[in-house]
Structures are given as C-alpha cells and as structure tokens.
Amino acid sequence: MSRVRELDPINLTITAEAGCVLARVQDAAAEAGRLLALSLASEGTAQIGGVLSTNAGGNATVRYGNAREQVLGLEVVLPDGRIWNGLRALRKDNAGYDLKHLFIGAEGTLGIITAAVLKLYPAPRESAVAMAAVRDARAALDLLASLQTENAEVVTSFEYLPRIGIEYVIRHAPGTRDPFDRVHGHYVLIELTSAREHAGLRVSLEKVLGAAVEDGRVLDAVFAESAAQAKALWRLREEMSDAQKPEGGSIKNDVSVPVSRVAEFIDTATARIRDELPGVRVVAFGHVGDGNIHFNLSQPVGADKDDFLSRWDHFTGIVNEIVVGLGGSFSAEHGIGRLKRATLEHFRGEVELGLMRRIKRAMDPDDLMNPGRVL
Amino acid sequence: MSRVRELDPINLTITAEAGCVLARVQDAAAEAGRLLALSLASEGTAQIGGVLSTNAGGNATVRYGNAREQVLGLEVVLPDGRIWNGLRALRKDNAGYDLKHLFIGAEGTLGIITAAVLKLYPAPRESAVAMAAVRDARAALDLLASLQTENAEVVTSFEYLPRIGIEYVIRHAPGTRDPFDRVHGHYVLIELTSAREHAGLRVSLEKVLGAAVEDGRVLDAVFAESAAQAKALWRLREEMSDAQKPEGGSIKNDVSVPVSRVAEFIDTATARIRDELPGVRVVAFGHVGDGNIHFNLSQPVGADKDDFLSRWDHFTGIVNEIVVGLGGSFSAEHGIGRLKRATLEHFRGEVELGLMRRIKRAMDPDDLMNPGRVL
C-alpha cells in the first residue's frame, strides 16, 4: 500500500498507493524531472490517502489548486468490500458521473481510497523567493493583484504573515531570525517558479515590488539569494503553526473568503474579537493567494488557558458568522471531521445537507465508513 | 437566465447564468482584462448550462483543464423543484461532499444547472501561433514533450491535423489554403500564450521547433506573423469537423488515451480499420495535447452512404476495444447521451455502473431529469 506503481513522463502522471508519504511521491516525480504540485507543511509524514480524503490545500494552491485538482483517477474500497477501479490516467473522460470527486474530500465516509493517478508538471527550472513588508493586509491584496496581472502563470505561492506570527517564530523556532532591520506590521512571502529557461522571474518580481515601494504599499523587501536563504524565509511561514503552542491556549479557525475580501475579513474579525476579549492575540496568517486564512486566537498573556479554551465555540462562532457573511467558508482546507459537524449543519442549508445525506445513505447504507464524521 | 451576474477582477471569478452564450462570458471577462479559459469551436452558440452539463473540453484543455476545472460554484434546480445555492466563489471550501462535480458532466440527469461561478485568469498579453509539418504522429508526441519541458506553463493548445483533414478543409471551406509549399502527411497546430510581458514566446517556440527540424521530427513550420494569420491557421482546425460532411457518411469516435499512447492508438486503429474496410478514409485529428482524438471514418469514395453508416456500431466497437485496451475512454469530451448508453454498460464494470445508478436513484428517485440519458 505504499508503492509508486507507475510514472509516465509523457502523460505527466504518477500512480501511487494510499500509504505513500507525500514527500516520497514528490521525490519520485523529481527524479523523473517532473513536479507533483502538492506542497504541505506536513508532506514528510502525510500520506496520499489522507491527503486526498481531506482534499488538502497547502502552499501552491494559488497556482495549482487543491489536492482534488491533482487527481485523474482513483481506486477505492467501497463499503460493501468491492473495489472500484477508476485508476484511469486520462485528462478527458466524460463517461457518466464523476465518481472520483465524490470520494476526494469525503474524509473516508464513502469509501477508502487505496491508490490514485496524480497529475505531474515539468520540473521548475527557475524560482524567485522574496519576502516583502507591506503596509497592511489590503496592501498585500493589491500586491497580489499586481503580481497576478504581471506574472499570473508563475505565481506559485503568496502567503500573508503578521508581525505577531513572525515574533512567535523567532522566539520559539531555533535558528530563525527577522530578515528585516526594522520592525514591520505585515509581511508577504512570495514564490515564483517557472519550467522555462531564462524566465526572468527575479527581474519581474523586482519590477512589481519596486512599483509597490514607489506607491507606499510595500515598505521593504528581501530577496532570497540562494536556496538556503529561500528555505530560511519559508521556515518563517512553516513554523508559524507550531510556534503558537508555547504561547498558551490557541483557538483555531481555518476559513476562506473570496480573495478580494481577505483584508476586510481580517480587519473586521480582528476588531470584533478584540472587542469581545481585550488582550486576545490575533494570529491571522496563511494562503491569502487563495483566500484561505488561518485566523487563530492566542490567549491573552497571563490568562487562564482552560478558561480561554472553554470559549472556543463562542469565538469560532463569531468568526464564522463574519466569514459566511462575506460569502466564505468556515472550513477551508481542514475539513469537518467530528468537531465541525454542528457548524456544517448550522451554516449549510437543509437543501445542501439533504443532498449530502442522500449520497451517504446511497453509498454507505449501513453507515460503516468512518461513522460520526462529516454528517 | 442569460445575465452575467457578477465579475470580481481580484478574486478572478465571474458569475454567469446558464443561458449565457460562452462567447458573451468570454467577452465580459476580456473587457475586464481577464480570461475565461474555455474555448470551443461552438462558443458562439454554446450556453454555459450546456457547457457545464456536458463538461465540455475544447482547445485549451492541455493547459487549463476541462469545463469542470473552471467551476467554483453552482446553482442547481433539483428534481424536487428546490434550488441548491452553491454559488460560492471560493478556491478552498472543504465542508462536506463536493456536490458541484456531481452535476457537472451529468448531462442534466441529476438536476438543472441555472448559474455558475467560473474561474478567470489575467488576460494574455502575448501569444505565438505556429503550424508544423511533422514526420508522423509519434513525432508530434515527441514535439509535445519537448514543448512541455521547455514551455510547460505557456502551452495553451497543441492540436494534431492529418493531411486528409487539411485536404477536406481546403476543398470545402472557402478562403482556406495550405500554408505550406509542399504536401506533408501530418501537422500540429501550436499556440503559446502568456500574461507576462516580454515572455519571449516566439523565440522559445522557434528554439523548440528548430531543434526538432534538426533531428528530423519536424519537416517544416510556419509562424503566424499577425492575428489574421493566426486566425487563418486556426480555421484549418476549426473547419475540420464540418469539412467531413460533404465527403459522405462519417462514423465518429470521440476517444481519449494517455497522451503517451496517442501515436500507438492512431497507428493501431488505422491499420485495423483499413483491414476491415479497404478504402475507408481515416480522419484522426484533435486535442493530442490532452490525449483526446476525434477518430472519424469517412466512407470510401463512391461507397453507399447508408450501407457504410449501417456499420457504425461495428466500427466504433473495434475502435473502442483498442482505446480501452490502451487504458483510454470511449467517451472523451462528447458524453453519453442516449447513443452511448450501451457502450457505457459494456466498458464500465458493474461496480462503477452500480455506483452511478445508486447516485441517480438517490438524487432523482422518480427519474424526472432527462430520462433515458446516461444510465
């Protein structure tokens, strides 16, 4: 269950079993000069089966989409023990209902994914990584828009990092440091990559950042001059979840809104939460390029952890109302599991839930698959 | 039902009603400096509802995927008359089962799509269009592989055209002409596009084609020097379906195989069909970049049309067996409808059909939606 079964460099596909660790599949692709365009902080331990069952997102979604978008075919063990062999390595196949998308993101409640055919891309030849200090979250959005207009097809990552998150990381992740001489309030981490030779990514990124410095949206920027420097900048982003743990209780919100409303969401929700609990430390960070913000709340310094965490539902409720009011989702990339079932019932209407229940009953009438999850 | 409801240039989305003609949605996007990445020969008449219900493919699938991949949200009228409002303009939304993918490509058998949120891209700033005469179908595949390696992110179209198809077009489509001085057996039509300035597409395409001329895979190439010339080259491709009509009876196969097996498929199927009926004219053309070949058969010159067409099932059966043997699909982009229901039953196992039937029964227990189609 952890074999790479096949790699077709011309068809740009790899067939991997569910137990394959994501990083191993990435490596197999890289050895063939190809790219698996799924990149998660947890790629060293996450397995393909889990990545697909949860429709994982990650750091390259702004360019390549979610895990779902990487899948051409699936093999699934069904509730009645039969195996559906849908391992087709085809980019076009309009023959009845699309079953694979039903299993992807279903969190194992409709069947167990045992293997998948995943898309590959030619390996990147060039990359440019930079971190920019921006005036505020709105300036981050403006910068994203400029970058998309100038560089659409090569914008691989665009992550937002607030000052407090950088401080947490520097305090708790050994070997990290602030890349800027001065303290700024807001940052973005940008990666452009291209499979083309002489793609001119650095020049092009300098141009966009230069224009943004001129008009005051960008306050300062640093470019990675080596792979090691790129890694150091990325570490500031990748340590940001873990670095919240030593700061006490943390209430997590994994939400998404239309990209155009990210700044409005962060500002509105931050103000509302601070009204509710002065001293609360809002750590809003993440994949602004695809509208997915991890809007986490650290307890006030010195507050009682259990007391703070006992208000989890109250705070997530406030955040989720704002999110949904902006046309967003209370569950962007982390899924429903057990914890968010009531939230799903609250926010998605009876029509949508009714459809999901019908599908669950039709596919798994005896409720054998991962009972108590999602619905 | 034919309004563009909303366009969000930062979120890169457009919300269009089902009755909108595809070309009108493209125009609305273009006016905002954005691109709707769906391009079909029938875009002047095809409506969004039909395009999504059939999961249309088209000429840019090699880069952007099918219609399915352009959809973020849907509004659907269900069999019981209720409306499912899933018109979310989100790039990440993991909240239960993905319902939209069930309706897309279901050919109206599960519900009626009334509106959709579609992805946009920044408008291209530069393009390069060329037609190359290639040694054979295998050389076309090799050229595609080189192009993908050198230019992955800008390869927007890669279409295969056989000599007989070019002859049909020149004979029957007024104003078309062979762009080459000499007669060749096989051609590809290539379009690179980029939203970046100074993308160097022409230089880069010349480099790849130049190398392929050196090693004998490409015999000659012409570049479009103007938008008018690009249009003239594209007309050779776009007229290729209609140009088959005046040549008598035509038996159509819309099939796909892994891209790496396209040449093997064309060679094997052509030989087999010619054995079966000497004089039959094989017109195999289309979207080789995504493995989708329109493997059409024109009647032998002077044969009886009705007699030829009476053997439709026999010939499509031969072609489909070869396709499925190569891991392909007998229905790539045209769907099942009424005509291919028996073929679906024949080639997709009981497990897969059983799942589809369960879904149909669960969603439309009274078989009200487009009865007699798909299942």
Is residue B58 very low, low, confident or very high in pLDDT (cuts 50, 70, 90)?
A: confident
The predicted pLDDT at position A152 comes to 81
Choose among A96, A151, A358: nearest Cβ to B344.
Answer: A96
At A364, list the tokens. 């798994």
- Residues 216-255 on B with a CB inside 8 Å of A are none
Chain B: residue whose CA lies nearest to A340: B95
The predicted pLDDT at position A198 comes to 86
Enumerate the residues of chain A whose CB falls inside 8 A of the CB of residue B196.
Answer: 150-154, 204
d(CA A256, CA B74): 17
The predicted pLDDT at position B160 comes to 98
The predicted pLDDT at position A151 comes to 84
Q: Dump pLDDT digits (tens) for A239-294.
A: 999 999 999 999 999 999 999 999 999 999 999 999 999 999 999 999 999 999 99
Q: Is B312 in contact with B253 (CB distance < 8 Å)?
A: no
The predicted pLDDT at position A197 comes to 84
Q: Which residues pair with A294 in a beta bridge?
A: A254, A285
Contact residues for A207 (Cβ-Cβ < 8 A; gap 6+): A150
Q: Is B132 in contact with B220 (CB distance < 8 Å)?
A: yes
Percent of residues, chain B, with pLDDT higher than 90: 96
Residue B309 has pLDDT above 90, yes or no: yes
The predicted pLDDT at position A103 comes to 98
Torsion, Cα A208 A209 A215 A216, to 10 degrees, reads 160
Chain B: residue whose CA lies nearest to A123: B149
Q: State the Rg of chain A over Cα.
A: 21
d(CA B39, CA A331): 33
d(CA B62, CA A10): 13
Q: Is A218 in contact with A134 (CB distance < 8 Å)?
A: yes
Query: Helix, strand, or coil here: A241?
Result: coil
The predicted pLDDT at position A4 comes to 97
Q: Is B316 in contact with B253 (CB distance < 8 Å)?
A: yes
The predicted pLDDT at position A147 comes to 95
Interface contact B106-A86, CB threshold 8 A: no
Averaged pLDDT for residues B90-118: 98
Is residue B198 very low, low, confident or very high in pLDDT (cuts 50, 70, 90)?
A: confident
Residue B41 has pLDDT above 90, yes or no: no
- Per DSSP, helices labelled H in B33-188 are 48-53, 61-64, 100-103, 137-151, 163-172
At B157, list the tokens. 């179209």
Query: Helix, strand, or coil here: B301?
Result: coil
Q: How far is CA A138 from CA A142, A218, A264, A369, B278, in A?
A: 6, 11, 8, 43, 68
Query: Helix, strand, or coil here: B282?
Result: strand
d(CA A343, CA A375): 11
d(CA A285, CA B40): 40
At A260, list the tokens. 């155009």
At B225, list the tokens. 């020097």
* Residue A336 contacts B where some CB pair is shorter than 8 Å: yes
Is residue B90 very low, low, confident or very high in pLDDT (cuts 50, 70, 90)?
A: very high
The predicted pLDDT at position B151 comes to 85
The predicted pLDDT at position A157 comes to 97
Torsion, Cα B30 B36 B42 B47, to 10 degrees, reads -100
Q: Which residues pair with A275 in a beta bridge?
A: none
Q: Dump pLDDT digits (tens) for B142-180.
A: 999 999 988 889 999 999 999 999 999 999 999 999 999
Sheet strand arrangement including A83-86: A4-8, A13-17, A112-119, A71-77, A83-86
At B269, list the tokens. 């199927």
Sheet strand arrangement including B4-8: B4-8, B13-17, B112-119, B71-77, B83-86
Interchain CB contacts (distance < 8 Å): A and B: 282
- Residues 63-122 on B with a CB inside 8 Å of A are 65-66, 68-69, 78, 82-86, 88-99, 101-102, 104-106, 110, 121-122
DSSP conformational letter for B261: G
The predicted pLDDT at position A210 comes to 97
Averaged pLDDT for residues B215-239: 97
Place of tokens 């599991």: A337
Amino acid at A57: G
Residue B331 has pLDDT above 90, yes or no: yes
Query: Helix, strand, or coil here: B281?
Result: strand
Query: pLDDT truncated to tens, each residue of chain A (375 aa)?
Result: 899 999 999 999 999 999 999 999 999 999 999 999 998 889 999 999 999 999 999 889 999 999 999 999 999 999 999 999 999 999 999 999 999 999 999 999 999 999 999 999 999 999 999 999 999 999 999 999 999 988 889 999 999 999 999 999 999 999 999 999 999 999 999 999 999 988 999 999 999 999 999 999 999 999 999 999 999 999 999 999 999 999 999 999 999 999 999 999 999 999 999 999 999 999 999 999 999 999 999 999 999 999 999 999 999 999 999 999 999 999 999 999 999 999 999 999 999 999 999 999 999 999 999 999 999
Nearest to A158 by CA among A38, A291, A26, A42: A291
Query: Helix, strand, or coil here: A95?
Result: coil
The dihedrals phi and psi of B323, each to the nearest 5 degrees, come to -55, -50
Q: How distant is the alpha carbon of residue B76 from its chain centre?
A: 25
3-state helix, strand, coil in chain B (%, to 5): 40, 25, 35
Place of tokens 């998660």: A40
d(CA B47, CA B38): 12
Chain A: residue whose CA lies nearest to B153: A153
d(CA A211, CA B293): 46
Average pLDDT in chain B: 97
Interface contact B94-A101, CB threshold 8 A: no
Interface contact B256-A90, CB threshold 8 A: yes
Q: Is B232 in contact with B222 (CB distance < 8 Å)?
A: no
DSSP conformational letter for B375: -
